[in-house]
Structure 1
Amino acid sequence: MTMPDDTAANPDNLRRGMLDELWALKALHTHAVAQAFAAVPRHLFAPEATPEQAYAANKSVVTKRGPDGAALSSVSAPAIQAAMLEQADLRPGMRVLEIGSGGYNAALIAEIVGPTGYVVSVDIDGDVVERARRLLTEAGYPAVRVVHGDAEHPIADEERFDRIIVTVGAWDLPPAWREQLVEGGRIVVPLLMRGTTRTVALDEVEGILVDRDHQRAGFVAMQGLGAHEETFLSLVEGEQVGLRIDGPADTNPVALADALLGGRTEAWSGVEVGGTEPFDDLDLFLATRPGRFGLLQALKPAVDAKLVSGWAQWGAPTRYSDTGFAYRVTRRVPDTDRAEFGVFAHGPDAAQLADQVVADIRTWDREHRHSEHRAHITVYPAAIPDEALPSGFVMDRRHTRVVVTWSTSADHAEHTTATRG
């Protein structure tokens, strides 16, 4: 009789497998971060999940939900945590502030900065704070200070930090974060920009926060004073299809609903992408073009009924007007593993909207597709006047002005007037 082999489910084996996967995903780049993942027992910080679930490289573990079922707190996927820790460029002896607690990420930070370093983790939710304190102590990291409070305010009784790592989706960066950062320090933050999120590594340079790297990610939204409400314009009864926009409603959802049911216009760009080739920057480029922008979102029944493309299940970049909208889709190129970018558009101005999005796709392909021509994200204080900003797309927030510029092969030889979102 053969007994079942449980060695594969052993946490140590699962942790080694997670490490191999993180290297394969290119989420890991340095041995310092890899050693932290090898040392910290992730399953102890995710008792809600099985060890197999806890060590899945691309899976987060929800640890608290609200009355509506929405996730309020989670242990982020290892791949995202690894990428952000690499972005942070942590060194032994550093002082690090983590905004948004869970315990595991703070333990990873503590491993990297070592016994001469110092880690503070703050969270607005008392339940999350107590949980993080308990799990950190049980896992052997009692030196991490876990604080209950709103990170919109400075942490009391603390000196400045070399690094601030934000683990919740932030629409704005409050002054407290800059006040707590050393000169030349770095903030790594999941920054929300017109419905899209990028983890951005921002270095402090003479009072300005300058992008050193950014990567696509998704996070639980900020709570407290820093919370930001998006608007969901329902286009189908039961909210099966809707347009999610950044800020208050600025169009009539009834007109857009009529447009959705009134037929579809298709336009194709001729721009193709390989089966595994990322195109994150295309969606960010579409989000930072002038004009009204949102994400078309749909539940599976609406996709199955062919009301909208399957891309709407993940949030399709959408340009809209008072009477119509056009969103980015793809179609398979026959006999290849490639896909072509195109647009589905609805409404009386469908053709015009579709042409605009197709033109933007072609511009991205021609001028910005390669990594050296990516977006650059810079965060200025809100008081900076227009004339002091670089050319680019400006997003005004309560505390800051976020500017997204796109380099080209002309290396900014020609500057354009800043546009505001």
Structure 2
Amino acid sequence: MSTLADSIGRSLPDRDEAPRVAMVEALRAAGSVRSAAVAEALLAVPRHVFAPEAALAEAYEPERALVTKRNEYGLAVSSVSAARIQAQMLEQADVRPGMRVLEVGSGGYNAALIAELVGPAGEVVTVDIDPFVTERAEKYLAEAGYERVRVVLADGSGQVEGGPFDRIVVTVGAWDLPPAWTGALVEGGTITVPLRMHGLTRSITFRREGERLVSVSATVSGFVKIQGADAHDEFLVLPRGTKEVGLRFDELERPDTSRLGGVLETPRAEWWSGVTIANQEPFDSLYLWLASSLPGFGLMSVDPELDTKTVAPANRMACPVIVEGDSLAYLALRRISEDPAEFEFGAHGFGPEGGPLAALINTEVRKWDREHRTGDGPVFTAQPIGIPNDQLPDGLVIDKTHVRLTISWP
């Protein structure tokens, strides 16, 4: 089997850099690192310098995000993202030597990786709204030898000097696509952004085609939320009046939830689809399909400390749910065999129309299984908010503040 050194044509670093080498080897084995350029960048940049609070071994764990700041509620508002996520985004972004690149959401480490990718002939600008973040970034970039990266304190949703850019890499979770981002791209340039749609985040690389953005790739992702003018909070509903069960709706157009009081005190209807899945088999495209095809879509979460087992969603942190009037239904799973472990998709419904809503979820689960389970996934198209319907591609249209986003399945 070829080694990392063989694949990138470079000798391995000294023994004191072994954690860095091990991280890159693990990322390559997992498929997160596919190119020699990204592997070389990850080997070159000392990740631990940008998170001195973390132990050396922790800094190089591929799945570990290194939190650098929390808000008054203890929630992370700034971090050095997991190396796997950063590697995947850089592979998506396809940053090349000599390019001019804007990073939105600083921290320093990812900007240093981009600087390695663009080389001495390229330019890197990184912007963040938080002076705590930009001061850290400037300090640690200098310590690591990347003083040529320009750090800007500003709201990354606005215009940033230094463009136009060949690539924009957004390292915060965005709900919308501000016009300043599209305007800062050269024609044919790309923006890679973790974009939230109905509460589901996908890291999408869009290519600029005139005034519209068209996706060229998308992967599951997650980042701390963007701050500033384009920050967006989800709408939370507590149908039992406590935090035991929460329903979250993320778009401007959302269902009427005013009649859900007492809905979870009604009998539970259970419907099963006949669609099965093996243990550890991914099914993230199912969530996006349900969000694209079901009206009244949101996400259900259950607080484990308050859980009375009234509901049993497929995922207690974020499970598809649909609401209509005084009824709701959510995606469910049940184990149907032990060895090997196998599960069946279904749905649970509550309220007068809970049964039909559960049946509707199962109909879409079966359609996903027939038509989209093994496919390439949808194409995402973003166009300015004023574009008329007859100029939009077919698919689900989500109206954000700045763009009309269309999700088009093949």
Give the TM bin, normalised by the shorter chain.
Answer: over 0.9
Per the TM alignment, residue 337 of structure 1 is displaced from its structure 2 partner at its CA by 2.5
Partner residue in 2 for 1:298: 302
1:280 and 2:287 aligned:
no
1:49 and 2:54 aligned:
yes
Partner residue in 2 for 1:414: none
Q: CA RMSD in A?
A: 1.6
For structure 2, the 5+ residue unaligned runs are 1-14
Aligned 8 A contact 1:62 1:71 in 2: yes
Per the TM alignment, residue 276 of structure 1 is displaced from its structure 2 partner at its CA by 3.0
Partner residue in 1 for 2:95: 90
* Superposed counterparts of 1:93-172, under 5 Å: 93-156=98-161, 158-172=162-176
Of 313, 324, 329 in structure 2, the residue corresponding to residue 326 of structure 1 is 329
Partner residue in 2 for 1:357: 361
In the aligned structure 2, how far is the partner of 1:322 from the partner of 1:258? 12
Partner residue in 2 for 1:314: 317
* Superposed counterparts of 1:8-407, under 5 Å: 12-156=17-161, 158-247=162-251, 250-252=255-257, 255-303=259-307, 305-309=308-312, 311-334=314-337, 335-372=339-376, 374-407=377-410
Aligned 8 A contact 2:255 2:323 in 1: no
Q: Secondary structure at the match of 1:147?
A: strand
Q: Number of paired residues?
A: 394
In the aligned structure 2, how far is the partner of 1:311 from the partner of 1:48? 36
Deviation readout 1:275-314 (Å, 9 max, x if unpaired): 23211111000111141111001111244x3132264432
Deviation readout 1:368-412 (Å, 9 max, x if unpaired): 11233x1111111112110011110000112111000110xxxxx
Q: Secondary structure at the match of 1:252?
A: coil
Stretch of structure 1 that moved more, 91-100 or 68-77: 68-77
* Counterpart residue identity of residue 30, structure 1: S
Q: Secondary structure at the match of 2:341?
A: coil
Q: Secondary structure at the match of 1:256?
A: coil
Stretch of structure 1 that moved more, 44-53 or 33-42: 44-53
For structure 1, the 5+ residue unaligned runs are 1-9, 408-421
Share of identical aligned residues, percent?
46
Q: Secondary structure at the match of 2:260?
A: helix
TM-score, with normalisation over the residues of structure 1? 0.90
Per the TM alignment, residue 252 of structure 1 is displaced from its structure 2 partner at its CA by 3.5
In the aligned structure 1, how far is the partner of 2:310 from the partner of 2:241? 13
Aligned 8 A contact 1:229 1:247 in 2: no
Aligned 8 A contact 2:313 2:333 in 1: no
* Counterpart residue identity of residue 20, structure 2: R
TM-score, with normalisation over the residues of structure 2? 0.92
Stretch of structure 1 that moved more, 275-284 or 72-81: 275-284
In the aligned structure 1, how far is the partner of 2:182 from the partner of 2:75? 30
Deviation readout 1:185-211 (Å, 9 max, x if unpaired): 000001110110000010112322111
In the aligned structure 2, how far is the partner of 1:87 from the partner of 1:130? 28
Q: Secondary structure at the match of 2:305?
A: helix
* Counterpart residue identity of residue 134, structure 1: K
In the aligned structure 1, how far is the partner of 2:341 from the partner of 2:312? 19
* Counterpart residue identity of residue 245, structure 2: V
Per the TM alignment, residue 70 of structure 1 is displaced from its structure 2 partner at its CA by 1.4
Per the TM alignment, residue 265 of structure 1 is displaced from its structure 2 partner at its CA by 1.4
* Counterpart residue identity of residue 326, structure 2: T
Q: Secondary structure at the match of 1:225?
A: coil
Q: Secondary structure at the match of 2:96?
A: coil
In the aligned structure 1, how far is the partner of 2:396 from the partner of 2:157? 26
Relative to 1, partners in 2 of residues 1:56 and 1:310: Cα closer, same or farther, differing over 3 Å?
A: farther
Aligned 8 A contact 1:281 1:375 in 2: no
Q: Secondary structure at the match of 2:293?
A: coil
Q: Secondary structure at the match of 2:193?
A: strand
Q: Secondary structure at the match of 2:229?
A: helix
Per the TM alignment, residue 53 of structure 1 is displaced from its structure 2 partner at its CA by 1.9
Partner residue in 2 for 1:410: none
Per the TM alignment, residue 46 of structure 1 is displaced from its structure 2 partner at its CA by 1.3
Deviation readout 1:8-40 (Å, 9 max, x if unpaired): xx8622212211221122111111001111111
* Counterpart residue identity of residue 176, structure 1: A
* Counterpart residue identity of residue 323, structure 1: D
Partner residue in 1 for 2:7: none
In the aligned structure 1, how far is the partner of 2:111 from the partner of 2:117? 10
In the aligned structure 2, how far is the partner of 1:140 from the partner of 1:121? 16
In the aligned structure 1, how far is the partner of 2:364 from the partner of 2:16? 48
Aligned 8 A contact 1:290 1:393 in 2: no
* Counterpart residue identity of residue 375, structure 2: S
* Counterpart residue identity of residue 169, structure 1: G
Stretch of structure 1 that moved more, 115-124 or 22-31: 22-31
Per the TM alignment, residue 238 of structure 1 is displaced from its structure 2 partner at its CA by 4.2
